[in-house]
Amino acid sequence: MKYRSTRGQVSGQSFESVVLEGLAADGGLFIPEQLPTLPADWQTAWAELSFPELATELIAQFVGTDLSHTEVSQLVQKSYATFDTPEVTPMVQLDARTHVLELFHGPTFAFKDVALQFLGNLFEFFLERRNAQSGGHRLTVVGATSGDTGSAAIYGLRGKKNVEVFILHPRGRVSAVQEAQMTTVLDENVHNVSIEGTFDDCQDIVKELFSRSEFRREHSLGAVNSINWARILAQISYYFCAFFALRRSHGADALPAFVVPSGNFGDILAGFYAQSLGLPVAKLVIATNANDILDRFLRTGTYEKDASVAATPSPAMDILVSSNFERFLWYLARDHEVPSSVVDPEERAARACEILAQWMDRLKTAGSFSVSPAALDAARQVFWSGRCGDAETYSTIAAHYSHEPSYLLDPHTAVGVHVAETLRPEIQALGAHVHSVCLSTAHPAKFSDAVLRAVNDAGHQLDFDSILPAPFVGLLEKPRRCFESENSADAVAQHIVDVAQSK
């Protein structure tokens, strides 16, 4: 199993190298050179596996010779032992054909724990193995967060040997609980950095630091955002898990239509890879908030940045540019933009890299690019999309809280549920055997202000203490450590240098 960059200048990379490097040297994202073929009997052989067992089988398809099956299993078991339920990602039924896949049972109560607990253990394993062969290997992990990635990365990497982690977050643009989850972790290898700006500013700084080849080599930079392929790989597992859970509860012909709250596109990209591996999926549905670049692309065929980020009740989705969309665009270019007269697979891949690089350049210089009608039609065959405004977010939370049985949604999950309900006629038209599975990305206690506003404004009462997870009790009063930086890559780079020199 080898990996290439979407931009075409890097190929033939091992799983270990793409995990530790994160972002390709040419600025592209790593993708498998070829997708593996699952065992012919996977639908029966894997049907009764536990989540860790299923994750082991899937991840093992992508690691080549870098990890043995036993090593994958040990890493997976260690990663998901931190979750509060043996199911890891249980599914809850809202109505006859609508379900919520709860992805928030990890240490930070967000879906990103599924990937980042595993990624943290991968980092530590590969570094320890390298140091056993020749000492001196360390990793400086630099990441940007709109809220949940930061705490999940910190909890996945705190105390890890040979790893320093720097997490950038936009000052005042994450929830109080999210900020406290990050900044109250005082482990010596954890460094929080607040930036005066938006998540996109933080993400741009991270990409700029990775583009500085000398700085990158000197500090052994590693990526923890979903630009890291291992993040996407780990998330594929819960799509298969939900598929099997749905069939166990609703019969052998039950088929999921996954509805995914989408910001940086990593979560639903894992669904695209699951479908590409052969998972039967009725439809993948992108649910956006007011920052709707993905929804607009599927309506128009033009990928265009807005002038500014809208602040919404679902802040983890307040993103102008969805970084992971580049991976899907590469496949779109290869299959629908490269002329059909080009038949050699490697030549088609090379042409796709060229087209993708041109698109990314246009996005950077002009703020937008457009795909061909054929490519847009192909994207619509894979994805549907819908948009949810702030008022709809609040009303969806209130409606499901007051419904019998009551279910409390966080604002990001509410975006997905609203879009699922809006598209209910279209989803039901796919067949009586199709069920909406809405991915629930965070525990509602992480967004207390939005949840309480939704419930109280609708005239209902909520005893918030009754839903508060034990780790959240007293969290806001704990001591904190955070470095306040100006909005510049130079300032953040200097902070990393200062920390390294102080060690």
For residue 340, count CB atoms less than 10 angstroms from its CB and return exposed for 0-12, middle for 13-18, buried for 19 or more: exposed
Q: Could you tell me which residues are beta bridge partners of residue 31?
A: 4
Instruction: Tell me what pLDDT residue 413 has.
Output: 98
Instruction: Tell me what pLDDT residue 137 has.
Output: 86
Alpha carbon distance 119, 234 (integer Å): 8
Tens digits of residue pLDDT in 23-62: 999 999 999 999 999 999 999 999 999 999 999 999 999 9
Alpha carbon distance 177, 90 (integer Å): 24
Read off the amino acid at residue 75: L
Give the count of beta carbons closer than 10 Å to the beta carbon of residue 455: 20
Tens digits of residue pLDDT in 117-158: 999 999 999 999 999 988 788 899 999 998 788 999 999 999
Read off the amino acid at residue 43: Q
Name the helix (H) or strand (E) containing 454. helix 448-457
Who's near 493: CB < 8 A, 6+ residues apart? Answer: 209, 212, 215
Read off the amino acid at residue 401: Y
- Of the candidates 378, 396, 276, 285, which has an alpha carbon nearest to the alpha carbon of residue 329? 378
What is the reported pTM? 0.94
Q: Which of 312-321, 346-355, 434-443 has the lowest mean pLDDT?
A: 312-321
Which residues are catalytic, by number?
A: 112
Tens digits of residue pLDDT in 159-204: 998 999 999 999 999 988 999 999 999 999 999 999 999 998 999 9
- Of the candidates 368, 335, 372, which has an alpha carbon nearest to the alpha carbon of residue 351? 335
Tokens of 255: 């088929």
Phi, psi of 454 (to 5 degrees): -60, -45
Phi, psi of 251 (to 5 degrees): 105, 160
Tens digits of residue pLDDT in 255-306: 999 999 999 999 999 999 999 999 999 999 999 999 999 999 999 999 999 8
